[in-house]
């Protein structure tokens, strides 16, 4: 599957496709989480020990906007564009930060989102440049 030395494509390029799909899923999950925070704030239980204190409507909008950007970036990443790779890394880092802060409010959800974001980061940073070499 490898091409010449300058345009190597390894079998690991599938991880970028995985990252694109996971980034899309992260976007959908953030949108769902945002709508839940907006309309059913009794679902998330929080105490005064939150790292950053925002009301749930603010968290909801942060999640919805971040989710929409993640979905857009997943399409660009699937096409192998540098823009998609850059935005994918930024969205994954943003997702990590947001879910780390949200951890006391809903730990299981946040741990799942953090794990998926780390996988996206790894795939894009390690194998992202290989997608443009497929043509």
Q: Which range of residues forms the domain containing residue 78?
A: 21-41+64-129
Query: Does residue 89 belong to any structural domain of this protein?
Result: yes
Query: Does residue 107 belong to any structural domain of this protein?
Result: yes
CB atoms within 10 A of CB 37: 25
Question: Exposed, middle or buried, 6 (CB in 10 Å: 0-12/13-18/19+)?
Answer: exposed
Token pair for residue 47? 């105490």
Alpha-carbon torsion, ordered 42, 57, 65, 26, to 10 deg = -20
- Per-residue pLDDT of the chain in tens (135 residues, 90 and over written 9): 444 445 666 666 787 888 888 889 888 988 998 898 888 765 555 555 555 556 778 878 888 998 998 899 888 888 878 888 888 889 889 888 888 887 887 889 889 989 988 888 888 887 777 766 555
How many structural domains does the chain have?
A: 1
Query: Does residue 9 belong to any structural domain of this protein?
Result: no
């Amino acid at each position: 599957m490898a091409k010449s030395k300058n345009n190597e494509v390894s079998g690991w390029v599938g991880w970028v496709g995985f990252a694109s799909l996971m980034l899309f899923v992260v976007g959908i999950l953030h949108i769902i989480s945002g709508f839940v925070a907006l309309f059913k704030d009794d679902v998330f239980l929080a105490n005064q020990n939150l790292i950053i204190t925002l009301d749930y409507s603010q968290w909801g909008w942060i999640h919805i906007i971040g989710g929409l950007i993640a979905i857009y970036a997943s399409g660009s990443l699937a096409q192998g564009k540098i823009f998609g790779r850059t935005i994918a890394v930024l969205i994954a880092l943003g997702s990590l930060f947001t879910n780390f802060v949200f951890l006391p409010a809903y730990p299981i959800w946040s741990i799942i989102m953090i794990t998926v974001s780390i996988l996206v980061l790894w795939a894009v940073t390690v194998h992202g440049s290989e997608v443009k070499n497929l043509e």
